[in-house]
Structure 1
Amino acid sequence: MSAFLDRPIGARLDTVTSMKLLLTSGGVTNDSIRAALVDMLGKPIAECRALFVPTAQWGQPACSPETVWMSAADRWEGEAGLTGLGWKSVGLLELTALPTIEKSRWVSWVREADVLLVDGGEATYLRHWMRESGLAELLPTLTETVWVGVSAGSMVMTPRIGSEFVDWTSGDGSDETLGIVDFCIFPHLDYPGWSENTLESARRWATRMPLPAYAIDDQTAISVVDGVVEVISEGHWERLNA
């Protein structure tokens, strides 16, 4: 089921990008999130070309070459992935490589994709390489492209993530991200074995965020289409610091 929220996202989104955003905690984990994705795409998944972006994992100490491969190959046992949803084609876009090749070459890859599948890991690292690669600058022109984020791949679109979610910085210690949407995200709410991801922790975190925030579990996503925000959930979520 979904919950329609009573305001547009405002000028911030309209002036930065008109992409359709599906900001998830754990990926396309249930039928409601999948249906929202198909609606954004405007056609069946089997007719869509996807690019998978694993970059955020390289900045996260808990990730490794093995986890990058498992995500790209959709090999996480018992967990939903992004690349195995039944796309017409899937390619891998590594942002750290883009500054070393001609921009005219990789931009065409991005423009031809129907969807960017942006994996989790470290949001500040992803922010850095989105800017360094030129992808962040390209976003406003991708008016027909869908962005599907997982965890850090969603959080990078927010203004800030909080020190709790920072394990990599460019030297300034900042928790700032791209600020494409005007809310913050606390992901993986009540994730098994993660004792710091409780609702109580999320509420404390939200008091330090400058904007409304959402705590979402892995059965929840936030969609942003034409400036309208909607929560899609078969799990647990809460709006914080409204």
Structure 2
Amino acid sequence: MKLLLTSGGVTNAAIHAALVDMLGRPLQSCRALCIPTAQHGHPWCTPETAWRFVAGRSPARMVDLGWQSVGLLELLALPELPPERWGPWVQAADVLLVDGGDATFLAHWLRVSGLAAQFPTLQDTVWVGVSAGSMVLTPRVGPEFVSWSGANGDDRTLGLVDFSVFPHLDHPDFPSNRMVNAEKWAAGIGGPAYAIDDQTALRVVDGEVDVVSQGQWRAFR
């Protein structure tokens, strides 16, 4: 997969241009599936916030970008369905729009649903994550970002990339997401990491990482 890992969605022209470039054609000719699952694992999320994401009314611009079509893929439903039913939906999608919430909850359901096992077959698919939807592909999120009790304190996620992500840097709604705390988080994460604000994205294509930003970010080695 090609990855566009954001903190706040497609928030500016630079991130939008990166997405179009990764898809190789205008968004209006691309089919999207949106995945709200991570919201169910976070205590701050509600049925209303999940609906706003799916309806394209979320502050994180994802669903409302003018796609040719948008479908809903709820991972919690997939274990009750044969892969022959939902697998073609995923294969036909040009882009997966993955919302935030709790990354460990999302990682659990990506595994249990069987979607994670399909990742190697999605070579041309673009994964656009926001917050936990980006963090889930990293090796660890750090204990600071684990809110799902089912994780039992385990902050490991899927490890599709070799770096971790500290999102929402200096966001007014997240008073603890300041650089001083990002530095402490990075010191304990045990690998390379990035702190990014909502005007920044990490583009990963063929293992190469590029920072796309009209905001603030920092790399920790």
Shorter-chain TM-score bucket reads over 0.9
Residues 181-220 of structure 1 aligned to structure 2 (within 5 Å): 181-220=161-200
Query: Could you tell me which residue of structure 1 aligns to residue 121 of structure 2?
Result: 141
Q: Tell whether 2:36 aligns with 1:54.
A: yes
Q: Distance in 2 between matches of 1:119 and 1:213?
A: 20
**Where does structure 1 differ by over 6 angstroms across 4 or more consecutive aligned residues?**
none
CA RMSD of aligned residues (A): 0.9
Q: Distance in 1 between matches of 2:52 and 2:204?
A: 28
Q: Distance in 2 between matches of 1:193 and 1:171?
A: 25
TM-score, length basis structure 2: 0.98
SS of 2:150's equivalent in the other structure is: coil
**Paired residue type of 2:130:** V
1:177-216 Cα distance to aligned partner (Å, 9 max, x none): 0000000000000001322000000000000011111000
Q: Tell whether 2:207 aligns with 1:227.
A: yes
Q: Distance in 2 between matches of 1:119 and 1:193?
A: 17
Query: Could you tell me which residue of structure 1 aligns to residue 5 of structure 2?
Result: 23
SS of 1:229's equivalent in the other structure is: strand
SS of 1:149's equivalent in the other structure is: strand
Unaligned runs of 5+ in 1: 1-18
**Paired residue type of 2:205:** V
Structure with more contact order per residue of length (Cα contacts < 8 Å, sep ≥ 6)? 1
Residues 35-184 of structure 1 aligned to structure 2 (within 5 Å): 35-76=17-58, 79-184=59-164
- State the 1:226 CA deviation: 1.0
Q: Distance in 2 between matches of 1:218 and 1:70?
A: 18
**Paired residue type of 2:133:** G
- State the 1:171 CA deviation: 5.0
SS of 1:170's equivalent in the other structure is: helix
Corresponding pairs, count = 221
Could you say if the C-alpha distance between residues 227 and 135 of structure 1 is closer, same or farther in structure 2, counting changes exceeding 3 Å? same
Contact 2:37 2:75 in 1 (8 A): yes
Q: Distance in 2 between matches of 1:178 and 1:71?
A: 23
**Paired residue type of 2:26:** P
Q: Distance in 2 between matches of 1:71 and 1:224?
A: 24
**Paired residue type of 1:123:** A
Contact 1:25 1:150 in 2 (8 A): yes
**Paired residue type of 1:68:** A
Identity of aligned residues (%): 62
